[in-house]
Structure 1
Amino acid sequence: MSTFIDRDRELSHLHERYRSDRAEFVVLYGRRRVGKSELIDQFLRTATGIHLVAREESKHLQLRRFSADLSAYFKDSFLQKTGFSDWDSFFEYLIQHADDRIVVAIDEFPYLIKEDPSLPSMLQDYWDRRLKETRIVLILSGSSISMMESATMEYGSPLFGRRTGQILLQPLRFIHVLEYLGDMKKAVEFYAVFGGTPAYIMAVDPERDIMKNIEEKVMREDSFLFRDVEFVLRAELVEPRYYFSILFSLAGGNHRIGLICNDTGLSKSVVNKYLSILIDLKLVHRRIPVTEGHRSRKGLYFLSDNLFDFWFSFVNPHLDMLERGNAPLVVDQYVRPQFARYVGKHFEEMVMDLLVHINGDGFLPFVFTRIGSWWHRGEEIDIVCLAENPHRILFCECKWQDGVDAAEVFAGLRRKAPLVSWHNDRRSEYFCVVARSFSRRAEGEGISLDLDDCAALMERGRRGRE
């Protein structure tokens, strides 16, 4: 199986920039492990250019490293002997070699800024006066989302308005992990644990079952995923203590501000502040009912990365046992008994992604324009799809269970449907249930999909797009 999953859209964007007739300045950023470096390398397989990787070291060593890389790429023995003395000589060298189309990708750009805060101003000067008249495709990449945004996109930055494009690289969608693994049940279980971060997905062994992967890839103290959540948080956050408390509370099912405050003992102002930072880092996201506007006060907060959710649910509470080599015991005593419930709370996200993927393929009763969850006063519906002119609404429940009675689920949906306040007097209503398997389908009452049906829809959609 390929070790590079999807990213067709992002590669297409980069190649479109590469084929343009002007200088391009692209900002590529996203969380650690999300695949930025691999995307650059894949792009450079069919584009002419060089991938420079910055390190957290002195300016002198940074320039020496870039000198060595560029001298090797251009076979320049003089540069190999002399090297760059400063950033001015580095930019002058790029200008001299950019008469023909060339990509220069500088990875982990924030490390360079951290060592030399004047670098964005220098780059702005060179771009405005000379680089933008060349044929260069300059890519600045970085894992520190806040620093990349502040250094390249915010109004006060010297580089504001200079970029010609930007790509915020997101984790892989469920449908792409499903295409990679090739088995629906396995994809659901693996995605619930490892999420869509490419480095995490590539760490798994698809030939072994999910429990063995959890034991060996997440819970063994010598596995890289065992400490990676802590590593990412400590690399991104100055004071991780409160963040750990909030993330642990979210993993425990506290999704409202008040519940998080009660659970952590932190004040509302502190929780709001730290949640805002976690949202900026793409580690937490806020959901609102699909029928509400973005200013709704009904927002709930969830962990954005499934591995973080799993780690705070099952690894962090048992670190002492795991550090003593008791991974098999923790899996048997704590993970296995709660695993179906844990997967179930993520299953609706995967079904939602599947529905988005097949929207417009003709399987659903209409093409929806909005999709999300709904809740109000203790009642909730996993997925609600909406379409305007005429008004149509689809209610869907997701059950990570075998032997589901679809008729019972449809009855529950019909009871809750009138509670969803959205054009109630002039809408057409449809119903759907997705489960591992059914004991009774209740044909004619709505759409019922088991895992085999979902796999067939994915395959039909793939063939239709070929």
Structure 2
Amino acid sequence: MSVFLDRERELSQLHERYQSDGAEFMVLYGRRRVGKSELIDQFLRTSRGIHLIAREESKQLQLRKFSADLSAYFQDPFLQKNGFSDWDSFFEYLIQHADPRVVVAIDEFPYLIKEDPSLPSVLQEYWDTHLKNTSIFLILSGSSISMMESATMDYKSPLFGRRTGQILLHPLRFIHVLDYLGDMKKAVEFYAVFGGTPAYLMAADPEENILKNIEEKVMREDSFLFRDVDFVLRTELVEPRYYFSILYSLAQGNNRIGLICNDTGLSKSVVNKYLSILIDLKLVHRRIPVTEGQKSRKGLYFLSDNLFDFWFSFVNPYLDTLERGNAPLIVDRYVRPHFARYVGKHFEGMVTDLFDSFNRHGLLPFVFTRIGSWWHRGEEIDIVCLAEDEHRILFCECKWQDGVDATEVIAGLRRKAPLVSWHNDRRKECFCVVARSFSRRADGEDICLDLDDCTALVEKVRTGKE
């Protein structure tokens, strides 16, 4: 099943630039499977241009392929017979065909650099001397985030300062997956497992329940997702065994550097080094309490992709058993009993995304300017929203459970609220609980949102009603 999900903002950005008069040099990058190629193809449906896809092969074969693709697009029999002999002839050809406006999207650009490190320097010369004065719309795209940044944005690169714009393509937000699936409960469960990576979501079957999807789409040894996490890591990383150890430790809930060191046996310097690389690759992110500054020493580390978290939690530990065709056994014995707890640790992030959407439409008690989690000395609050000008604060707990007693949860929030150091002497406090369902709701102004309430608010966002 192929569905193009969201990306209206990125498409709009590309189309706005396409309407400009001058040359454009766009850098499009992001993790594998995040939808870069599909975004280019969607853009080209309403724009004049060609999508060139690089491969891991010799320079000669790469040039031969680009010659064939361009000769077919421009209907050029001469190029078809002769082809490009080097990158100079390739860029000379682009100069000759850059007017009227044409999009030339070169996908997997890092493959070309890997084969010929001089390519950025060649492109820099042609851009500076000719291409920037044409109507060309050049897109360089790639999945190796570190190589794309170093090759096109680093001050040491020949291409530094040449790009006219860049798009770092992120995974889809929960709100967009909800739009796709339609049902709140199903969207929460599917997002907890497959995350926001379009290729992973497209591998799932929305007509089946989540446990059947896990068994068939993630844990079967012949399924695409069974090996993809391993494939991505081994493609991106030089010493995967250390990274695997750190990612597995994070999936087990070891979110502090000290805990990771104790769990893996790796030194603090090694863990710091590899965490830094994983953050650069957008596989791990660091969170700090919402009331702290970026230099806070209270940072915690989490896996950025839910499928990676699920894979290291439930697939990697049982690989031998799964490879013998025992997916139903692992789902029944290990996934089913712990699944609600697993979803619960991701539910907070989904509610945060919903709140961000509600906030833009004024559907919460006040418009916040900061949102995040809070923790200190063993105490924690799932979501804290701050309105810095008005000194208003909202405390929220997220419970992926049915029959929640909201009065008990809010009592706990009221106990912890004074521990949150933020304008304590003059702030106005609000309290909120989000759960699958409630056995008892709170009285007064306290907010209780079950899945039906959240669905109703999402509908208000869609229709623009307040």
- Normalising by the smaller structure, the TM-score range is over 0.9
Residues in 2 aligned to 1:442 and 1:116: alpha-carbon distance in whole angstroms: 65
Contact 1:192 1:343 in 2 (8 A): yes
Superposed CA offset, 1:154-198 (max 9, x none):
000000000000000000000000000000000000000000000
Residues in 2 aligned to 1:430 and 1:394: alpha-carbon distance in whole angstroms: 5
The 5-angstrom pairing of residues 27-426 of structure 1 reads 27-426=27-426
Give the structure-1-normalised TM-score: 0.99
Contact 2:174 2:191 in 1 (8 A): yes
Contact 1:407 1:445 in 2 (8 A): no
Segments ≥4 residues shifted beyond 6 Å: none
Aligned length: 466
Contact 2:2 2:202 in 1 (8 A): no
Distance 1:2 1:448, change over 3 A: farther
Contact 2:400 2:436 in 1 (8 A): yes
Contact 1:261 1:268 in 2 (8 A): yes
Residues in 2 aligned to 1:185 and 1:273: alpha-carbon distance in whole angstroms: 38
Offset of 1:348 from its aligned partner?
0.2
Specify the code of the residue in structure 1 equivalent to 2:148: M
Specify the code of the residue in structure 1 equivalent to 2:177: V
Residues in 1 aligned to 2:254 and 2:372: alpha-carbon distance in whole angstroms: 19
List alignment gaps of at least 5 residues for structure 1.
none
Residues in 2 aligned to 1:50 and 1:65: alpha-carbon distance in whole angstroms: 13
Superposed CA offset, 1:369-421 (max 9, x none):
00000000000000000012220000000000000011111101000000000
Residues in 2 aligned to 1:465 and 1:64: alpha-carbon distance in whole angstroms: 56
Specify the code of the residue in structure 2 equivalent to 1:23: A
Residues in 2 aligned to 1:436 and 1:445: alpha-carbon distance in whole angstroms: 20
Identity percentage over the alignment?
85
Contact 1:410 1:445 in 2 (8 A): no
Contact 2:18 2:137 in 1 (8 A): yes
- What is the SS of the residue equivalent to 1:432? strand
Specify the code of the residue in structure 2 equivalent to 1:251: A
Residues in 1 aligned to 2:379 and 2:227: alpha-carbon distance in whole angstroms: 38
- What is the SS of the residue equivalent to 1:166? strand
Offset of 1:298 from its aligned partner?
0.1
List alignment gaps of at least 5 residues for structure 2.
none
Residues in 2 aligned to 1:42 and 1:389: alpha-carbon distance in whole angstroms: 41
Offset of 1:465 from its aligned partner?
7.9
Contact 1:369 1:386 in 2 (8 A): yes
Specify the code of the residue in structure 2 equivalent to 1:225: L
- What is the SS of the residue equivalent to 2:373? strand
Residues in 2 aligned to 1:427 and 1:243: alpha-carbon distance in whole angstroms: 44
Offset of 1:443 from its aligned partner?
2.9
Offset of 1:363 from its aligned partner?
1.9
Tell me the residue number matched to 2:21: 21
- What is the SS of the residue equivalent to 1:331? helix
Contact 2:382 2:398 in 1 (8 A): yes
- What is the SS of the residue equivalent to 2:125? helix
Specify the code of the residue in structure 2 equivalent to 1:40: I
- What is the SS of the residue equivalent to 1:155? coil
Specify the code of the residue in structure 2 equivalent to 1:268: K
Residues in 2 aligned to 1:140 and 1:11: alpha-carbon distance in whole angstroms: 16
- Report the more deviating stretch, 434-443 or 393-402: 434-443
Residues in 1 aligned to 2:358 and 2:376: alpha-carbon distance in whole angstroms: 28
**Over the residues paired in the alignment, what is the CA RMSD in angstroms?**
1.0
- What is the SS of the residue equivalent to 1:359? helix
Specify the code of the residue in structure 1 equivalent to 2:325: G
Superposed CA offset, 1:276-302 (max 9, x none):
000000000000000000000000000
